[in-house]
Structure 1
Amino acid sequence: MKIEHACVRQLQLPLVTPYKVSLLTMRVFDPFVVEIRDTEGRSGFGEALIVPGYTHETVEGSWRLCLSLAQRIVGLEAGEARALARAAVQDGVGAASAVLAALDMVAGHARLAPGADTRVPLLAPLHSEDRGALAEEIEATLARGYRTLKVKVGFDWTKDLRQVETIQQLVRGRATLRLDANQGFDSADGIAFAKRLSPQGIELFEQPCSLDDWRANAAVAAKSTVPVMLDESIYDVADIDRAAAIDGVGFVKLKLKKMGSIDMLLDGLARIRANGLTPVLGDGVSLEIGCWMEACVAAGTIDNAGEMNGFLKTRDRVFENPLPFADGAITLPGGYAPRIDRDLLARCTLREATFDDRVIAV
């Protein structure tokens, strides 16, 4: 089969609650969404949100690469289109992954069609800052079925440490904590924070320092009282191998948009386990498209809380038949096949370009 249509859109969806991390506060998600259709009428979608500071990719550079790939794959056989997009991973994995994921969906990748009912537990981020509000948020979150909570740190290590201690007191062992600095610390502050942590209830400490500063991250991992997980530093299997050589690193997190295709993601997860580390999966700033795909991959490959919860952060969903969620978990019924909400796409589109039979519309 050949590719007969490709469309690239940039969407903008407001968030229910501002999402504060060490480098910025997000109030909208504005990802690129790639749609591909083949000559047999099968269609697929892929997405990638480019967040400056979390990657070397830029928004405009990724947009241009999406357009270039979309234009070039029209008229190609599916295998040729896949090879072209895979070769572009080194130029911009976010853009290439959006195309590869759409091709995986068009092809009906087996991982996207679980035959049995599937449950993928998720973690929940904590947003509140003062003790009273935190207590209420924690109780409400536990009541919704969550058993893993994400705590954002990387701001001021002394305040962060007090906040973690407060949360530990309020949780009282009823949930596991993941601490995420999102590259916010330098090595000195990261060490000061990590070596003072009481390990009680803490699963891991994520990405203490800059994605490029492997030495700083290693220094923190060596002193941390809890295992360190690398996220932003990881783009391929070579990075996974490098992480495995660092004392104190026990986890590696992957995202579809940072690996490429579904098969490339599966290879990365297998490589993590082969290195004796524990894989974590999920993109907290993805829409339903990416979260659904990652949940399908997580089923049978991941035994801890998934981080593919971005779809819960937006006010609107992009599927007409929303991704099922209950009791703190994505609950996929056997045979679930998402349908895109085209009216919502139209309302939320900032810009788009379509490519049909070498005819271009922008």
Structure 2
Amino acid sequence: MKIRDLTLYRVDIPLHVPYVTKLQPQGIKSIDTFVCEVHDEDGRTGVGDATILPGYTHETLDGGWKFCLEHGERLVGMDTEEAKKSLDPYRVSDAHAVSALQVAIEMMEGNALFDLPDEDVEVPILGAVNTKVLEEIPDEVNRLIEKGHRTLKVKVGWEPAADLNRLEIIQKANAGRADLRVDANQGFSREDGIKFATGLHPDGEIQLFEQPCQKEDWDSNAAVAAVSNVPVMMDESIYDINDVERAGEMDGCGFVKLKISKLTGVDLLKQGLDRIRELGMTPVLGNGAASDVGCYVESCVARHTIDNAGENNGYLKNREHLFKELLPFRNGSIVLSKNFCPELDHDTVNRLKIDEARFAPVQA
């Protein structure tokens, strides 16, 4: 199978509400996303995407887009296996950009991970408790649970005492109805991370404490994990299997989260998730800042590999969607249907696009 043509879109997708973390205290109001669409000689199509958030990775938006342009043009006319192999040297340095290209190719190839059964499959995803207004917390928690979410995520990483106080209010409102995941997004120093982690009162509700310290600072993350009252989950520090292996050696690390944009392909993502389990940890999957394209791709992998709530809920935060069909959501889950067609809505893409490039063989 050869790549007949390849089109790249850079789109700006607006969010319903700003995405606020310690790394982005002013809030992200839209996500700058790369989308790759490929076709073969028989008209088969594949779509991939990637969203680079500044501060979450060493990659940059302009660098990622430049990579897509340079390598997208080069891939046209190649056999798909040759094309994927040619991306191998860049899977850590330019993971997000590689992922957008490779996933599109894998979907076009008809990778078995995209095969869906005749009956609908529900892939559970978590809900996020976003409000910082303490009086609003009970209503937000109730709304999320009424939507069917059985796992909730809470962002922390600002100041340990205030974070613990807000978390306690969330726990009281939750009253054991859902598991809680607590995510610092690299926001704590070692000292504050230890203070927060040892102040947690899990009571069976708090499932994990995610990425306490800066992604490069493995020693500080390990120091927090060693004393935390709940297992730590590594996220931003993880880029490839070597990082998974390193997390497996960390006392107190019980979970590792992977994303398609880090592992750069659906087969590689499945291998990484399987390896986490082999090392005695629990794999978690999903990107909370992504388009419906990425959320669909991760759901297709999750149904084969994951037995807990996915974090690929990003598309529910977006005001615009890239597929022609809305990716169904029901009872706290993404619904995968055999009849769902992962086809781009080009009208929406064109309305949201910042840039575009199409590569096809030069006609004689």
TM-score, normalised by the number of residues in structure 1:
0.97
1:203 aligns with 2:222: no
| Maintained 8 Å contact 1:234/1:240 | yes
What residue in structure 2 maps to residue 107 of structure 1?
A: 109
Distance in 2 between residues matched to 1:140 and 1:186, nearest whole Å: 33
1:160 aligns with 2:163: yes
Identical pairs, percent: 45
3-state SS of the aligned residue for 1:37? Answer: strand
Map of 2:143 onto structure 1: 140
Q: Deviation per CA, 1:13-61, whole angstroms, max 9, x where unpaired?
A: 1101111111001110111111111111111111111111111111111
Q: Where does residue 281 of structure 1 map in the other structure?
A: 285
Letter in 1 for 2:259: K
Partner of 2:41: 39
Give the Å deviation of 1:75.
1.1
| 1:85 counterpart residue number | 87
Structure 1 counterpart of 2:32: 30
Q: 1:71 to 1:358 in 2, by over 3 A?
A: farther
Counterpart mapping for 1:135-284 below 5 A: 135-200=138-203, 201-284=205-288
Q: Is the 8 A contact 1:113 1:337 kept in 2?
A: no
Between the aligned partners of 1:358 and 1:229, the Cα distance in structure 2 is 49
Q: Residues 244 and 275 of structure 1 are in contact (CA less than 8 Å); yes or no, is this contact kept in structure 2?
A: yes
CA distance in 1 between partners of 2:191 and 2:316 (Å): 35
Residue 91 of structure 1, CA deviation: 3.0
Q: What is the alpha-carbon distance in structure 1 between the residues aligned to residue 59 and residue 262 of structure 2?
A: 11
Q: State whether residues 113 and 335 of structure 1, in contact with CA within 8 Å, keep that contact through their aligned partners in structure 2.
A: no
Check whether the contact 1:86–1:260 (CA below 8 A) recurs between aligned residues. Answer: no
Tell me how far 1:170 sits from its aligned partner.
1.0
Counterpart in the other structure of 2:301 = 297
Q: What SS is found at the alignment partner of 2:305?
A: coil
Distance (Å, rounded) in 2 between the aligned partners of 1:90 and 1:125: 29
Structure 1's unaligned 5+ residue stretches are none
Is the 8 Å Cα contact of residues 92 and 240 (structure 2) preserved in structure 1? no
| Partner residue, 1:16 | 16
Amino acid across the alignment from 1:6: L
2:336 is the counterpart of 1:341: no
On the 8 A contact 1:322/1:338 being kept in 2, the answer is no
Report how far residue 358 of structure 1 moved.
4.7
SS at match of 2:306: coil
Secondary structure, counterpart of 2:304 in structure 1: coil
What is the one-letter code of the residue matched to 1:125?
A
Amino acid at match of 1:313: K
* Distance in 2, Cα, partners of 1:298 & 1:179: 21
What's 1:96 paired with?
98
Return the alpha-carbon distance in structure 2 between the equivalents of residues 84 and 30 of structure 1.
26
Which whole-Å CA distance do the structure 1 matches of 2:36 and 2:196 have between them? 41
Post-superposition Cα deviations, 1:286-316, rounded to whole Å, max 9, x if no partner, equal 1111100100110031010000001101111
Are the aligned partners of 2:325 and 2:340 in contact in 1 as well (CA < 8 Å)? no
Instruction: Work out whether residues 282 and 294 of structure 1, in 8 Å CA contact, stay in contact via their aligned partners in 2.
Output: yes
- CA–CA distance in 2 between the matches of 1:46 and 1:86? 17
State the Cα distance separating 1:77 from its structure 2 match. 1.2
**What's the offset of the Cα at 1:321?**
1.3
After TM superposition, give the deviation of residue 82 of structure 1 in Å: 1.3
Q: Distance in 1 between matches of 2:149 and 2:292?
A: 19
In the TM superposition, residue 100 of structure 1 has moved relative to its aligned partner by 0.5
Q: Distance in 1 between matches of 2:69 and 2:266?
A: 21
What do the CA deviations read for 1:67-114 (whole angstroms, capped 9, x no partner)? 111010011111111111233213301100110100011101111121
Checking the alignment, whether the CA contact within 8 Å between 1:155 and 1:185 is kept in structure 2 is yes
Contact 1:284 1:308 (8 Å CA) reproduced? yes
State the TM-score, normalizing by the size of structure 2.
Answer: 0.97
Unaligned 5+ runs, structure 2: none
| Residue 53 (structure 1) aligns with | 55
Distance 2:273 2:92 in 1: 19
How far has the Cα of 1:335 moved from its partner?
4.3
Describe how 1:124-139 pairs up with structure 2 within 5 A.
Answer: 124-139=127-142
Q: How many angstroms does 1:9 deviate by?
A: 1.2
Give the 4+ runs in structure 1 shifted more than 3 A.
none
Deviation, structure 1 residue 269 = 0.5
- CA positional deviation for 1:326: 0.8
> In the TM superposition, what whole-angstrom CA distance separates every residue of 1:142-170 from its partner, at most 9, and x where no partner exists?
11111111000001111101111111111
d(CA) in 2 for partners of 1:64 and 1:19? 26
CA distance in 1, matches of 2:331, 2:17: 20
